[in-house]
Amino acid sequence: MYSKTLTLVLCLLSTKSLVVSAEQIEQSDFVAIPDTCVALREGRNCYADIEINWQRPEIGNYCLRDATSKHIMQCWLRQKSGQFHYAFDSVETIAFELINSDSGKIIAKTHVQLQWVYQNRQKKRRWRLF
């Protein structure tokens, strides 16, 4: 019975891998990896080390910015690809934009989605382990 239970647990775990597949990377030229941050409880900040990758067909001047605040996070001069490491620390989903710094035009968008395990934030939880 224990072996069956263990098998079931491992099967379910394998269906929800945290790793973003290589196929997904190839489909887009502006991606955040991982694209999801999972916090334990709704209302808590979520933390993750995010790698943002972009590539364009032509060399140019590009900037990465926060889609909401429009805060510029990094710019690249005469490049056609780039990478940025971002320490995600947020209580909500964050969207990013890749812009052409010469024209200000938005070229691509991506985001890191925030999820949580426990949505019930009731205060009287027994959160008991034993």
C-alpha distances out from residue 5 to 1, 2, 8, 12, 103, Å: 6, 5, 5, 11, 58
Closest CB to another protein among residues 9, 106: 9
Nearest-approach distance from CB 52 to another protein, in angstroms: 20
* Burial class of residue 12, CB neighbours in 10 A (0-12, 13-18, 19+): exposed
Nearest-approach distance from CB 115 to another protein, in angstroms: 5
d(CA 57, CA 81): 9
How many distinct helices (H) and strands (E) make up the chain? 2, 6
Closest CB to another protein among residues 12, 22: 12
Closest CB to another protein among residues 69, 122: 122
Nearest-approach distance from CB 25 to another protein, in angstroms: 19
Closest CB to another protein among residues 37, 99: 37
**Which residues are 106's β-sheet partners?**
99
Nearest-approach distance from CB 90 to another protein, in angstroms: 12
Residues that bind another protein (CB under 8 A): 2, 5-6, 8-9, 11-13, 15-18, 36-44, 46-48, 115-130
Contact 114, 47 (CB under 8 A): no
